């Protein structure tokens, strides 16, 4: 009898856990985290709808054909917000270039979606302009031409404390926010986010970094900079804080002056110029995604964020969410085909240190 009771309780707990708001995989089932890389439209055979997918339960990219599918990964995750109970759940869509109004070049350069019930939820960071819609899922045709990035993490509701602070710092611009009283009372900073209130005039700290655990206990690091930080989040914050060389893929096609590869005694950040994803080579000019990979096998981090490496972005807020995962790191590290090198010969380039890593790996396997 006791054994049957234990089995029944376990079954109930498992079924409830699977039904909570979380990131959704390619089968529409809950998953701890996932990454989607929407491939650019290329003459070599992509239409602009194809994407590759990897999550906490897989080890290689899976290639799929339709980012517009509402039943898998990105679509299935975001679609939870459309059917959620507005009385009891917190929902948040934010973007500097949303599908409703003109782009906002004053507030944070950041795009994302978040949804929580009283127990769990997800935070999805993405790079897609005019996305997602307010009432039902679809992917904009205007965003098919270029590559785009998505990183989703499932987490317990108490992490809304850190998320709210992050969104306040970066000046996230809400175009949909549903904030029930019970969430506003428990997480009062969400009221600031809803009212578009950022830091007070008396503030002296213009960046924060916070650890956030996923549902399965993976520690992520969330980095946020306010516009008064007046620096590049990739080089002046993430590279320096982690003491790693970074290769950063970001949008460098705009009218703003590019920062270019930055190499100093305390940090080193390279602009990616060419990459290879599942056998497809394409230039950074074909890619609107925003991600970074370290060049350290002892600190194998991959970050997904909001900011481009352009001078215009130094005066805007934005953030990044970083994961330390060796398998994901190897995938992204190996996808970097070419970077802009350091101008000075006194600094190691991303590829010189990459070569050391590859030689060491070969020697270990040989012996």
- Within 187-268, residue ranges assigned H as helices are 189-194, 240-242
235, 216 contact by CB (below 8 A): no
Burial zone of 60 (CB within 10 Å; 0-12 exposed, 13-18 middle, 19+ buried) = exposed
Residue with tokens 């230039």, as numbered in its chain: 283
Burial zone of 137 (CB within 10 Å; 0-12 exposed, 13-18 middle, 19+ buried) = buried
User: What is the Cα–Cα distance from 50 to 69, expressed in whole angstroms?
Assistant: 11
Residue with tokens 């590759």, as numbered in its chain: 52
Q: Which residue out of 159, 226, 288, 333 is catalytically annotated?
A: 288
Q: What is the DSSP string of 15-39?
A: HHHHHSS-EE-TTS-EESEEEEEEP
- For 290, other C-beta atoms within 10 Å of its C-beta total 29
292, 238 contact by CB (below 8 A): yes
Q: List C-alpha distances in Å: 344 to 261, 332, 341, 353.
A: 11, 26, 9, 15
Task: Give the chain's largest Cα–Cα span.
Answer: 74
318, 306 contact by CB (below 8 A): yes
Alpha carbon 144 to its chain's center? 19
Task: Find the helix or strand (DSSP H, E) in which 277 lies.
Answer: strand 268-277
Task: Find the helix or strand (DSSP H, E) in which 62 lies.
Answer: strand 62-64
Q: Is 288 a catalytic residue?
A: yes
Task: Find the helix or strand (DSSP H, E) in which 208 lies.
Answer: strand 207-213
As annotated, the active-site residues are: 288
């Amino acid at each position: 009898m006791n054994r049957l009771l234990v089995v029944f309780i376990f079954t109930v707990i498992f079924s409830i856990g699977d039904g909570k708001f979380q990131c959704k995989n390619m089968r529409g089932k809950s998953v701890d985290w996932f990454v989607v890389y929407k491939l650019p439209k290329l003459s070599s055979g992509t239409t602009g709808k194809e994407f590759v997918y990897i999550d906490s339960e897989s080890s290689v990219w899976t290639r799929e054909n339709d980012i517009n599918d509402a039943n898998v990964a990105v679509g299935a995750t975001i679609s939870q917000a459309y059917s959620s109970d507005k009385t009891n759940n917190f929902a948040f869509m934010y973007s500097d270039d949303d599908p409703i109004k003109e782009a906002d070049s004053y507030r944070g350069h950041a795009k994302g979606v978040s949804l929580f019930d009283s127990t769990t939820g997800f935070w999805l960071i993405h790079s897609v302009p005019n996305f997602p819609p307010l009432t039902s899922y679809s992917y904009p045709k205007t965003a098919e031409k270029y590559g785009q990035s998505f990183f989703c993490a499932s987490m317990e509701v108490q992490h809304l404390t850190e998320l709210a602070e992050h969104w306040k710092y970066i000046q996230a611009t809400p175009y949909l926010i549903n904030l029930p009283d019970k969430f506003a009372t428990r997480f009062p900073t969400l009221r600031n986010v809803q009212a578009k209130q950022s830091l007070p005039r008396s503030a002296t700290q213009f960046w924060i970094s916070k650890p956030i655990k996923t549902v399965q206990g993976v520690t992520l690091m969330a980095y946020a900079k306010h516009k008064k930080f007046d620096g590049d989040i990739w080089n002046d914050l993430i590279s320096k804080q982690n003491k790693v060389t970074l290769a950063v893929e970001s949008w460098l096609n705009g009218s703003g002056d590019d920062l270019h590869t930055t190499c100093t005694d305390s940090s080193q950040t390279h602009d990616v110029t060419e990459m290879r994803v599942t056998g497809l080579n394409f230039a950074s000019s074909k890619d609107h995604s925003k991600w970074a990979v370290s060049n350290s096998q002892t600190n194998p981090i991959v970050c997904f964020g909001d900011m481009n490496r352009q001078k215009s972005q130094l005066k805007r807020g934005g953030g990044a969410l970083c994961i330390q995962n060796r398998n994901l790191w190897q995938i992204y590290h190996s996808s970097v085909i070419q970077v802009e090198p350091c101008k000075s010969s006194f600094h190691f380039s991303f590829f010189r240190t990459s070569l050391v890593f590859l030689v060491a790996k070969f020697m270990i396997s040989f012996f």
